[in-house]
Homo-oligomer: A and B are copies of this chain.
């Protein structure tokens, strides 16, 4: 399950997959029936079983897809060399890193994050997955960048682990609020601006005086 191209060029299995991601995010796993999913794709429900052995297997495929995409994105970010010199502002530097991270996010990742949030308290597998990707991996990534910035003299000395944790928690909260507001028609550019201001405030507190 690697392609996410235009609907017309997708195989039936891929169509089922992308439709499932959308419907699970919109109506929840339990709130989506195989019937509905098949109708969305334009096939009969029995045909769905030619591609996936059942509903749970579709969810499993979504988790596998996301795990792989997230891991790749994390590795890309770690490999990437962000330009900087002695005059680079830490906030500016951080924004570049954040943009780089977002750039490497796999397609559908936003919808899958919503599915994970819907299911994290209900499904043990989703819970573990959420803890791994949304917290653990992001904490490590953030801590590494903070250490890098410190070694370059961009920020003050501090508890890098705890500061990274705090950043990840904060991003979790602001992301939820943004997702909710966007669903209710809130202006996207406005929320982007809100996020940037908050990141600037957070990183700004770590700036060397």
Interface residues of A, Cβ cutoff 8 Å to B: 25-28, 30-31, 114, 117-118, 120-122, 124, 127-128, 130-131, 135, 159, 162-163, 165-166, 168-174, 176-177, 179-181, 183-184, 197-198, 201-202, 205
Contact = CB atoms under 8 A, between A and B. Distances in A.
B166 A170 contact: yes
**Which residue among A130, A172, A173, A179 has the maximum number of chain B CB atoms within 10 Å of its CB?**
A173
Contacts of A127: 180, 183-184
Contacts of A28: 28, 30, 121-122
A136 to B, nearest CB: 10
Contacts of A114: 121
Contacts of A181: 131
A27 B179 contact: no
A201 B206 CA distance: 13
A80 B165 CA distance: 31
Contact of A183 (B30, B121, B165): B121
A165 B202 CA distance: 11
A135 B172 contact: no
Given A121-B180, A163-B201, 16 more contacts: A25-B121, A28-B28, A30-B30, A30-B31, A31-B122, A114-B121, A118-B118, A124-B184, A130-B180, A166-B201, A169-B170, A169-B172, A170-B170, A170-B173, A172-B176, A172-B177
Contacts of A198: 162, 165-166, 169
17 contacts: A28-B28, A28-B121, A118-B118, A118-B122, A124-B184, A127-B180, A127-B183, A127-B184, A128-B184, A131-B177, A131-B180, A162-B197, A165-B198, A169-B169, A172-B172, A172-B173, A205-B205
Nearest to A194: B165
Contact of A173 (B31, B121, B128, B168): B168
